[in-house]
Amino acid sequence: MPVSIALLFAALLVLTPVAAQQRPTPYDVLIRGGRIIDGTGSPWYAGDVAIRGGRIAAIGRLGDAAARRTIDARGMVVAPGFIDMLGQSDLSILVEPHLPSKIFQGITTEVTGEGGSAAPLNAEIVTADSAGYARLGIRPDWRTLREYFARLERQGIGINVAHFVGATQVRRMVLADSNRAPSKAELDSMRALVASAMRDGAVGLSTSLQYPPAPYASTRELIALAREASKAGGRYATHLRSEGDAIMPALDEAIRIGREAGLPVEIWHLKAAGRANWGRMPAIVAKIDSARAAGVDIAADTYAYPAWFNSMSAFIPPWAHDGGTARMLERLRVRSTRARIRTEMLAHGGGWDNEWQEIPGPEAVLIGAVQNPALVKFQGKTLAEVAKARGTDAIDALFDLLVEDAGYTYVAVFGMSERDVALALRQPWTSVNNDSQGTSPDGTLGRDHPHPRAYGTFPRIIRKYVREERLLTLEDAIRKFTSLPAQRMGFGDRGVLKLGMWADVVVFDPAHVRDRATFAAPNQLAEGMRWVLVNGAPVIADGRATGALPGRVLRGPGTRR
């Protein structure tokens, strides 16, 4: 063999393995040929998205790139996974960690912990709330958020979860359900609990100031607690003290807390509740705009339905809740206190957020979730229908249902105008929540009769406000679902389709996305999501749930490592 040929042959033997090593490693997932809406509000563009190691590894025209799994997205939109700015899945995720109602909407991350949070807990709270745990078959074997997060991570979760620490929960730890101000020592204990929760991974402090015992807290108390969250880089999120007649002073309170505690403010489920307040949304928007212009970092979110959903006990004045649910039920059994409660519900004013005065009548109250099997027949009926069936008036029917259901009953209340809902949604600082626990049409959770928003919020916005009414462009809606909430919550590596970001991704045909859940039949999964990926792993593949549990706990900036 000539020397030159021998040398060439030897060189090939040496170089061939090196060349093989230099071939690009296949991606884990390659999404081909979609209309990319990146989450920023920019117009869509055609391209591919490649994923490796749970993150976006390449984006654009990727030519002959190879992958272990290729998704054909031709004719479909590729967008960041949706962020639910207020879910209620802190307990239901322990029952059904896949959360079908969420993932079929395209939700890949949920923020939870509204006033009452999964932790901290003590023996007294566990005992007081034992019926709720038993109803779901849960044994609360945690006491802190750190322990709760560890339980989530042991069992696995289908979506990412971020958690606020609730001011109500902290108050109950120290004061139980009593209607009084804390002493200095008690307030110091409450502050320490907030600081500890922030070290455990809470993203901030939350309040739900309409629901006892939360209304017993003064603004000063809340500022003191919010300062502890602020020290850890957290934020303040609130269900306002009033969403009806007193919404303006309630907004002033939230703005004051943000300003004096030095942290961003999120107004959960912004609304103008009650027929007397219809048309007030322009003034509400103006107040928030004014605060923002003055340097207060405040924004809001909405679920875009004209009915809210809460415990029927919210119709009862706050003083009657002093001491907790058991004491409230005792008062409803006593003729004299029952009469006093009725009188206050029927009166205007009174210094509390009187929901009875915010509704057009009992026909606007729809019975939802109950825990007493004997009351299931009333699910989906209006309070007016229940009263007629029982031969009583609506207020007595309300009282009786609460007593018979141990205070549990939840109701949908039709008390908002569509025009106000649309105006709130249209604001550039408004993101989206569904204010509902993740659930399933089947199993333990499927027995409930929830608000249809539990299954339909995000698809409803695409169907109603993008396709049908053209209130928003699809790019605007996707921004409200993704980068805006990510920015509000400090999720710096989520919410946008960009190199290096976590690969929370949805693939859908925008012409076919729709909500199916109704107030009459709410347990119906949304349609239209073809692929949903959480941290790069499909939880929906070709329109079907995969059973994967790739979600993560998203801890706040003050987390103790």
Which of 379, 414, 449 marks a domain boundary?
414
Residue 236, strand partner residues: 205, 265
Residues in the chain, pLDDT under 50: 1-21
Cα angle at 482 between 283 and 550, to 5 degrees? Answer: 140
Q: Are 13 and 517 in contact (CB under 8 A)?
A: no
Q: Which of 539, 531, 429 is nearest to 79 (CA)?
A: 531
| 71 and 214 fall within a common domain | no
Q: How far apart are CA 138 and CA 140, in angstroms?
A: 6
In a domain, 479, yes or no: yes
In a domain, 185, yes or no: yes
| 302 and 210 fall within a common domain | yes
| 462 and 407 fall within a common domain | no
| 198 and 287 fall within a common domain | yes
| 184 and 274 fall within a common domain | yes
* Amino acid present at 155: Q
Average pLDDT, the chain: 95
Query: What are the tens digits of pLDDT across the range 27-61?
Result: 999 999 999 999 999 999 999 999 999 999 999 99
In a domain, 25, yes or no: yes
| 158 and 257 fall within a common domain | no
* Length in residues, the chain: 561
In a domain, 559, yes or no: no
In a domain, 558, yes or no: no
Q: Are 482 and 80 in contact (CB under 8 A)?
A: yes
Q: How far apart are CA 41 and CA 496, in angstroms?
A: 10
Q: Which of 361, 416, 348 is nearest to 387 (CA)?
A: 361
Reported pTM: 0.94
| 286 and 337 fall within a common domain | no
| 159 and 96 fall within a common domain | yes
**CATH code (residue 540):** 2.30.40.10
In a domain, 341, yes or no: yes
| 328 and 254 fall within a common domain | no
In a domain, 281, yes or no: yes
| 379 and 358 fall within a common domain | yes
Q: What is residue 25's predicted lDDT score, i.e. its pLDDT?
A: 80
Q: Please report, to the nearest 10 degrees, the dihedral formed by the alpha carbons of residues 547, 550, 551, 556 taken in order.
A: 170
Q: Are 71 and 421 in contact (CB under 8 A)?
A: no
Q: How many domains does the chain have?
A: 3
Structure tokens at 367: 């019975």
Query: What are the tens digits of pLDDT across the range 364-373?
Result: 999 999 999 9
Q: What are phi and psi of 196, to 5 degrees?
A: -65, -45
Residues 6+ apart with CB under 8 A from 514: 459, 460, 462, 463, 526, 527, 528
Q: What is residue 17's predicted lDDT score, i.e. its pLDDT?
A: 47
Containing structural domain, residue 7: 1-115+148-163+439-489+501-551
**CATH code (residue 183):** 3.20.20.140
Q: Are 492 and 203 in contact (CB under 8 A)?
A: no
Q: What is residue 9's predicted lDDT score, i.e. its pLDDT?
A: 44
| 423 and 410 fall within a common domain | no
Residues 6+ apart with CB under 8 A from 111: 83, 84, 85, 86, 87, 162, 163, 164, 203, 237, 433, 485, 489
| 158 and 169 fall within a common domain | no
In a domain, 258, yes or no: yes
Q: What is residue 350's predicted lDDT score, i.e. its pLDDT?
A: 78
